[in-house]
Structure 1
Amino acid sequence: MSTSTTDPMIGRLIDGRYHVRSRIARGGMATVYLATDQRLERLVAVKIMHGHLADDSQFTARFIQEARSAARLAHPNVVNVFDQGQDADSAYLVMEYLPGITLRELLQEYGALTPQQTLDIVEAILSGLSAAHKAGIVHRDLKPENVLLADDGRIKIGDFGLARAASAATAAGAALLGTIAYLSPELVTRGVADTRSDIYAVGIMMFEMLTGEQPFKGEQPMQIAFQHANDTVPAPSATNPSVPAELDELVLWATARDPEHRPADARALLEQVVETARSLETSLSATGPQKTMVFTTPLVPPTITAETQVIGSLATVGSTGATGSTTVIGNSATGELARATGRRRKRGWIAFALVLLLALAAGGAGWWFGAGPGAQVTITDVRGQSPEAAGAALLEQGLVVGAEPATAHDLEIPAGAVLGTDPPAGEVVPRDSTVTLVVSLGPEPTTVPAIAGVPEADARTLLDGAGLVVAEDAIRQVDPGVAQGSAIGVVSIGEDGTESGLPEGSESLKGTPVTLVVSLGPLPDVVGVEPGTASAAFEALGLTATVGGDSEFNNDIAEGLVLRAVPSADEPFRPGDAFTLIVSRGPDLVDIPDVIDLTINEARTALEAAGFVPVIDTNVPEFFWDIATVQQVEPSQDGQAIRNSEIVISAFFD
């Protein structure tokens, strides 16, 4: 749909350089637009902070921090940041434009991915993340929405809006700025994030890719946060039995509740992922039980269970047997038991206090995210509905419908029906946010501009200005009356490929797809040239020309040179059309018959029979031509002459 009438940024020139073309996405802090960098003539993504946040120094600082964090990273798996600045009241940053989808959209489309697909994506994520960790940057908001899958196969991490230095402690309140489903236990309980917090988020994404769902669910965000803080992430194979044991162990390692039991940073996990990918090339196709991987860092720390026998204080941990029990050998069993009991009691009080604090936090957060200002909803798609039905659907979501709808022309949605919303469908916004309906005015009429003879670039500008959607590829065809590279006209192409011309000044509709017809200039003049040269001249226009057909005598064109080019199809001629080159056999020479001493009439008949035109030069009356004899022939009768040429015969009375 067209948003040019509802979004004032569309069409604006940011900082005298970036021309905003359309909106890509809208988030809590900023809106991302597709724009053209007029200086470097390339498409870019421009992220512009919401105007109502401009006065908030904290948001502005975070916005600028994103630019600085991402700009420090030059890596194929991190979205490049080109520029950052301030235009009027809008802070903006310029990033590379990656046409494609997010990992979230991929999961919504396909559900669970295969182990190989998961490893490929995770390897790319970790490659980019390891560059961030090496630069001392913690992302803190890793989630499928921030993993971009470009159409050309590149995978990149974006949105460093919450990034911080790896050594910086994050305030507890700010921890909830990340997405709840991917927050690590230490972020939930202590509000502290480091590189291992990013690893936890990667582990949750791995679980989601392998199973098609998140490990923890709840009606309120704080319920999910409570599970992250207190529960262990289950093995993906418990949900999807086809997941190999190697990937189970990778997920469990990355999502260990204790940060000390996770990989230290993205590089450590990346090395293991690469090793796992190599091993799965054979183990996935092998029969029998799957092998168990051995990590350099323990996945689960050795724990003394209820079956552990404590025999003394100078304890040495033995190996775990088949029953899972561990024997600790030493002296003073009673004292050790007492100390162990005291420690358990102390831990119990600490656990009780922690649970109480989390319960209070859960209650407050439950209200905040469930019914309070923090509640969020995803705007439903009401395109094509009546304004009344669309308004009712949005009200049912807890949103506020703007009193005055916006309007916009649209080629597909009939007048009076809802064209869309602002913010658009699918965007997550706080409950009670105002959503404006955009009602269609139907197709907008326009007039086809005069473009015949206009250079192609100028013709495209004229058609764009008329609101017509010009195809990127033009139709090229031969036209002797229009200079090469200039427009001949414009056509509309139907679904069956039929072309319909749109004459200049005719009425059309804005948004109509059209195709420009551009001249190749005239056909090359190849008469009298070598066939190879003639073929090259045709090929320069995208045409083909080969020698064929019967050669012909020609008194003016030497033997072997081109007489003419014969097309295989009717005009107009377009690239790919074929021509046949007819070549000359040279002049058609014929022997001059001997007519000396023949009568004038006999000589005339003989020359005509040989293919010549006899010319009689005589003072003899025609009455005597049957008895008067030829005395001279020009040219000489001993040579040859061109067929149909004149031969002069002479006869005179003495």
Structure 2
Amino acid sequence: MDTTLQDPLVGHVLDGRYRVDARIAVGGMATVYRAVDTRLDRVLALKVMHPSLAADGSFVERFIREAKSVARLAHPNVVQVFDQGTDGSYVYLAMEYVAGCTLRDVLRERGALQPRAALDILEPVLAALGAAHRAGFVHRDMKPENVLIGDDGRVKVADFGLVRSVDTVTSTTGAVLGTVSYLAPEQIEQPGAADPRVDVYACGVVLYEMLTGEKPHDAESAAVVLYKHLHEDVPPPSAVVPGLPFELDELVASATARTPAVRPHDAVALLAQAREARFALSEDQLDAVPPQALAAAHDNADDLTSVIPRSLTVPRPLPVNEDDTGAEAEFHRTSRLESPPPLPPRRRGHSRRRVVTIVAAVLLALGLGAGVWYINSGQFTRVPPLLAKTEAQARDRLEQSGLEVSQVKHAYSDSVKRGTVISSDPASGARIRDNDSVALTISDGPRTVRVPDVEGYRLDKARDLLKDSGLDPGMVTRAFSDEVPRGSVISTDPEKGTERRAGSAIALTVSKGRPIDVPDVTGESLQDARADLEEAGLKVKVATEEVNSAEYDKGQVARQTPADGSTAAEGDTVTLTLSKGPEMIEVPDVVGDSVDEARQQLEAAGFSVDEDRGLLGLFGDTVKGQSVAGGESAPKGSTITIKIR
């Protein structure tokens, strides 16, 4: 049976805007649905907190914290958050929908990955986490389940539900958050630790798992896994996959050092190490298929990892001695020429010409061979790895390789530390002549801009102004305002004038209009109720179905949503349900029955019972008459009087 058919939210329009189409996944804290934003006509993912948790303030605060944290991270490798709100008992996030699979799906189907595929996944993950770390946030729950791989090959980090500000003091009462296989030792010893290096550790474990197809510390119980994290180093991947380059062993060892101070200080630093490791590997090493890879997966032309686009900043090294093949072949063909047989004396002149030709061919071959040797060993070198090096370090490396710096340019970068190399021209790994020069591009750090004053602007105009300033419109929260018109911006977070990195998301608070106390119109005619509500500044909608009501006559308002005493915004809609009068039911005939039997029958039918004994019936026990004769109809819940004689 399709379990989505049993989900009450499927087919429901949440908050009057998001039509829930299907359930995607269920977690301990929330359920994720595929939905359509009916206002903007786009597919998105809707993360809805379980209603049982919505009453817990700490859970709601953590849920909203996720929205605010991710909304500020304008990064192509982070799943975006569009909106956050509530609808009755439902607290939800509207998020970017990524059609594809998770890294866990890839590992389950493919086993160990080729080094190139593992690095192609790791690098965008580190870029996303690096943006979070530089913004002051830590993910704290990195694992393959939270790495999404889109059908178009894009890699995105999801589920910032455990995100915590770096300087936040936590009180988790000993509860260990995160998944045990990816926990850093300090998270086990000090639950609630919030430091970028816990994400670095988890990424090292994920890299190990991608390279080997298995977790470094695996056991039947979580307690044993935690013990191994505390007391055992993560083994080198080459111990499981013989032949893996030592550069990958070093990368895993650096990221998973048990002492936090030994690890890279954040994901940006680990990303620089990952790129250096890639540059140091040959094409054959990058494309080597590990024995642990599932053969069926690699025979498939639609390998999920093969669609991951190559990083544009990673040059493709040329094959070693790729220009030698033709020259060496020519040399060997020429050097195998044999001396001709002796000729008669009368052909001596012709013989001399032949000898001269042979000598010239041999000299040409020798010259060509020397030229090949000269070109390959005496004239060319390769540009050394320079990314993430300071300008001084880059100059030293180039000088050691016999190269010079031709030009130094500067550019803004959100992920590369200020003062370090973003790129070089030619790129690292490229072949270049000895004593040639290399141009460097140095990071000036992230470009910062001031948040513009958009207060009082309509939401669409405010969004345009933010984009023109180099910022991204973030999460929209709606609030009442007596001063700001409905649909206009009340404030921004961060506030106007604050400096932020270009591309940062700015949260907007938009006016719902002035608050209105919804009047009570139950019991009124539809005409009177409509007039009262519209006079208060509200719109009216009449429900298509009427309800029976013993309290209100047919045509009167039996129910209203929102109810009396609620607060609504100017222009909000109140739905009215009209009464179709009381439900009429048949009255049982109880004449001749005992009083107890009569009362039991009438109450079971839905009536109240009153007794009329008079003077003669004080001691009687038999019903002699009833106010509504048996077989006739009366409103459900009305009172039937029985006469006792």
TM (norm. structure 1) is: 0.43
Larger Rg over CA atoms:
1
